Amino acid sequence: MKNFEKILKFSEAEYVLNLYKPLTTYGRKNKNKNRIFDDINELNTYLNLIEKTMKFTQNSNEGIVEKICFHLSRIPEIDKFDKLNSAEIMLVKKFLVNYKEISRLTTPLKKIFNLNFDSVSLLKYLELSGKKTETFYISEKYDEKLKELRKNIRNIEYKISKYKTEFLSKIKKNHNIDFFYERFCPASK
């Protein structure tokens, strides 16, 4: 352990690590897991990956790297779940949407880093509502009862809106006071 600390100090690795700002929660967790390569072949493999990544970033169209950084910073940390609640489903969808974009944007690096997006069917299922966003909306296509419930809610909202309009019109007509643009809901006696 003493040698490890001496090597870090000699190589000014802490200075380099301070420059490294991971965009994902996974990267931030692993940032301080310092490692010294003692196998030259393994070190060369990592250096080649770094070189290929640098060439990709230098040769990419303007804005591609920023888009990749944006999507990396949007990837949530996901734990293993036995059963998913709606919040966890939203995290899974958010993860998939951003990972799919990273995979699409990094086509030349797909084979090198194994960035294939293999969850098309899962994402398609989570996008039944047709919305291709990272938010999760439970579509009426999942459940007939939900469809009926939302229909009832819309009907009630319509009736409230209609009643409010009629009530405010009566106030204006009878008392010459216009509350039309005020935000309140008239209540019964």
CB 122 within 8 A of CB 88: no
Does the model's pTM come out above 0.75?
no
Q: What is the pLDDT of residue 156?
A: 93
What's the CA angle centered on 133, arms 109 and 154, to 5 degrees? 170
Q: Which of 111, 118, 116, 117 is nearest to 49 (CA)?
A: 111
Structure confidence by residue, pLDDT tens digits, 93-147: 888 888 898 888 888 888 888 888 888 888 887 776 666 666 666 667 777 888 8
Max CA pair span of the chain: 90
**31 within 8 A of 17, measured Cβ to Cβ:** yes
Rounded Cα–Cα distance for residues 122 and 188 (Å): 48
pLDDT, position 117? 87
Kindly report each contact of residues 53-62 with a partner whose C-beta sits within 8 Å and lies 24 or more positions away, as own/partner.
53/109, 56/106, 56/108, 56/109
Name the residue ranges covered by the structural domains of the chain: 64-139, 143-189
- Where do we find the tokens 């990419």? 60
- How far apart are alpha carbons 24 and 136 in whole angstroms? 21
pLDDT tens, position by position, 15-56 = 877 888 888 888 888 877 767 777 889 889 989 988 998 898
What is the average pLDDT across 153-173? 89
